[in-house]
DNA sequence: TTGACATGTCGGAATGTTTAGATGTATGAC
DNA sequence: GTCATACATCTAAACATTCCGACATGTCAA
């Protein structure tokens, strides 16, 4: 259901994560720092996004890198962030 | 905040309401019937959407008609519904 | 004014989400 | 092997959302 995926995206940390990952892949620790949250919370957000097929991940040594798996996210983020919807 | 507005949209009934209102304005009762929910719940959903500036309303006799106030909703719905994101 | 209709608002129960801390697992360095 | 690092998982508390019934408001018609 579309509503479920929108809810998944609709969280400040997850929007920030998606925004970053649209540029390039990142590790959990990097994303956690960028969002100002502990890494276990970042991990939880990433799990939610990955469970819905929005992200993919790969391990490289001790780190795990995530990237955007769903191209539509770029369009959604373009709508959301660029000029639309509840700009402050 | 963008996340807040996305959360507002991210509900099955509210997505349906937006989808209908993108075509033409409708009364609360019509929307409630279309969503299969009681009219007081439709009224509540409409209030949430209106409070964030996504809808507008006008009274006509006893009925109150709502329509889409935020043009970006058409683009968002186009992304969401047409081919992207968690299609079943 | 009264009654019926359309909508809005107010509780509160049920449910879902977010967060934090503690613990668990996998990897590389030594 | 031990240790530290990077990440994941579990649990429970705190918080927010959803839904429903009951009641309130506002309008029209008679």
pLDDT tens by residue, chain B, 88 residues: 789 999 999 999 999 999 999 999 999 999 999 999 999 999 999 999 999 999 999 999 999 999 999 988 998 898 886 555 554 4
Q: Are B34 and B21 in contact (CB under 8 A)?
A: no
Nearest residue of A to residue B54, measured between CA atoms = A85
Helix (H, G, I), strand (E, B) or coil at B67: strand
Alpha-helical segments (H) within B1-88: 2-9, 12-21, 28-35, 39-51, 72-82
Mean pLDDT rounded to a whole number for chain B = 91
State whether A10 and B12 contact (CB < 8 Å).
Answer: no
Q: Concatenate the DSSP letters of all residues of A9-60 into one string.
A: H-SHHHHHHHHHHTTS-EEHHHHHHHHTS-HHHHHHHHHHHHHTTSEEEEEE
B71 touches strand D (CB under 7 A): no
> What integer pLDDT is reported at residue B88 of this predicted model?
43
- Strand D nucleotides where any atom sits below 7 Å of a protein CB: 5-10, 17-23, 26-28
Residues 35-54 of A with CB under 7 A from strand D: 39-40, 42-44, 46-47
pLDDT of A3-38, one tens digit each? 999 999 999 999 999 999 999 999 999 999 999 999
Say how far B62 CA is from C26 C1', in Å.
65
Task: Decide: helix, strand or coil at residue A61.
Answer: coil
CA closest to A7 among chain B residues: B10
**CA nearest neighbour of A4 among B48, B63, B11:** B11
Copy the structure tokens of residue A87. Answer: 């700009």
Number of Cβ within 10 Å of residue A86's Cβ equals: 17
Q: What is the pLDDT of residue B82?
A: 54
Q: Between residues 63 and 82 of chain A, which touch chain B (CB distance below 8 Å)? A: 70, 72-73, 75-76, 79-81
* Contact call for residues B25 and B47 (beta carbons, < 8 A): no
Q: How far apart, in whole angstroms, are the C-alpha atoms of residue A28 and residue B23? A: 43
Lowest-confidence segment of A41-45, A50-54, B82-86 by average pLDDT: B82-86
Q: Which residue of B has its CA nearest to A12?
A: B3
- B68, B21 Cβ separation under 8 angstroms: yes
The helix/strand/coil state of B57 is strand
């Amino acid at each position: 259901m579309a509503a479920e995926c929108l809810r998944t995206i609709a969280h400040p940390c997850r929007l920030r994560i998606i925004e970053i990952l649209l540029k390039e892949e990142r590790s959990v620790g990097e994303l956690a720092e960028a969002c100002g949250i502990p890494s276990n919370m970042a991990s939880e957000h990433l799990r939610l996004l990955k469970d819905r097929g929005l992200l993919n991940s790969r391990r490289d040594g001790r780190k795990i890198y995530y990237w955007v798996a769903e191209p539509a996210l770029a369009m959604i983020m373009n709508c959301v962030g660029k000029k639309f919807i509840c700009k402050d």
